[in-house]
Structure formats: structure tokens, C-alpha cells
Structure 1
Amino acid sequence: MSKMFQGFKDFIMRGNVVDLAVGVVIGAAFTTVVTKFTDGFLKPLIQLMGGGKGLEAGTFKVNGVPFDYASFLNAVITFLLTAAVLYFLVVMPLNVLAERRRRGEEPPPKAPSEEVKLLTEIRDALLRGQGHQVSNSALDDVLKRPHPDQPR
């Protein structure tokens, strides 16, 4: 049980989890904005083009059962807008940056500040003092240094 919690703690201490959480929150907030836009502007346009009035707008009936095609089209448009904006504003620029770094045109991220280095070393020393095994510190990960037990 202790090993499981230690593994979870090691997982949480990595920067990737925080980045992922931030990405999910931003994605959810952006999706809400796009949904409100499509609900407020595009769905009424679809309903107007469908020729319906009032509650009948954007629907058709088969054997008395209403089919709300305006809501479906609205959801498809919401998805496409969200995916397109996230691709062009997040994914594509990050891919371009990664390609530049790979070719050596863009310098790698600068090393962490002295304060971050010191705090990381203090954290690692405290963990070692409590009997925890520190596989590789966050500072080593950032500076791409090998684990002390790994051959160079």
C-alpha cells in the first residue's frame, strides 16, 4: 500500500501532470465559449434556415416523433470549431517549436533559476532523509542529466 502511494506521489510530482491539468481546464473553458457561441448564434440560424417557427424550428417529425437536427448540427459545428482552434493555436505552434529545437534553430529552454534548483535539492534531501528513494530529481529531468546510478 505504501509503495502505491509513493508511486502516486512520484507521478504527481512530475511536471507533466500539472501541464495536463492546465490543458484540460483551458480546453474545458474554451469548449464552453464555443458552445455558447454556437448555441446563441449558429443554432438559431440553422433553425431559421430550416423554416420552422417556435418550438418546431430545427426539427422534423416522423410518425409524431420530433427529430432535433438543429441541435445535432450545432454539436458538430461546436466540435469542429473547438478542434480547429486548438489545433491551429496550440498543437501546430508547439509542433513548429519542437521542429525548430530538433534542427537547432531554437535554443532549448533555459535552466531553472537558482531558487528552483535550491528548492528541488532541499525537497530531494528531505525525501532521502525520510527513507524515500529519489529516482531522479525534477532538476535532473529539466537539465536532462542521467540518474546517478546510470552509466554516462
Structure 2
Amino acid sequence: MLQGFKDFITRGNVLELAVAVILGGAFNTVVNALVESVIMPAVSWAVGAPSFDSFLVFGPVRVGVLLTALVNFLIVAAAIYFFIVLPINKLDERRRRRLGLGPKEEEVDPQVELLMEIRDALVEQGRAPGPEGRVER
């Protein structure tokens, strides 16, 4: 029983997931600092207070709080995309070009590839299935 647990813990994907969670937690601080100290002050300066908390209040129901959370989420998502994902993708593309590697090609399941070849051969012979799935001759 302990050997199974040891095998599970030392498997590569479990360790990679643990490292990703730790790095994600640490990276959260960086993203929050970027959004709270750089982006939100710029938004405040441009449009005034970036809070919709007092917007659309119906008694105890405050829809503005949800709207503020959605806007904050979109700002964080945009910051992650434009400052992290996009530059990393560009660096990876440059590295692949420098190494002479082509664009990433998705591997096709051999069974799917065979079915596509059969379909193409049937189309060439004029025996492709009709709309009801019957072969028309």
C-alpha cells in the first residue's frame, strides 16, 4: 500500500502540478501588484474611480459589486495575456524558427487519418455518402 502511494507521489505529473500550484501562488502576487499598482491607477486617472459598487443598487441587491468584479477579472486576464502569454509565445516562436523547427503540428490519431483517407478516396471515386448516409452511385 505504501509503495503505491510512493509511486503516485513520485510520478512526474504530480510533481509538476505541485510546482505549478506553488509558482501560481507566487505569481499571483506579481499579477496583483501589476494590476493594483500600475493598471488600476492608470484607469482611475483616465476615467475616474474604477469602482461600480454603487452602480445599480436595488435595495440590498448591489449589481455594481458584481460588475466591478467582472471588470477586475477582465483587467487581470488582459494583463496576463498581453504581458505574459503573448511574449512567451513570441519567444517560443523565435526559438523554434532559430532551431529550424516548423510550426507545431497536431498529431492525428492513426484511425482518424485512415478514415480521412477512405473518405477522400470515396470522394474521388464519386461514391461519397449522401445526406442520409447512403452511398449514391
Higher relative contact order (CA 8 A, sep 6+): 1
Give the TM-score of the pair, scaled to structure 2: 0.46
Give the TM-score of the pair, scaled to structure 1: 0.43
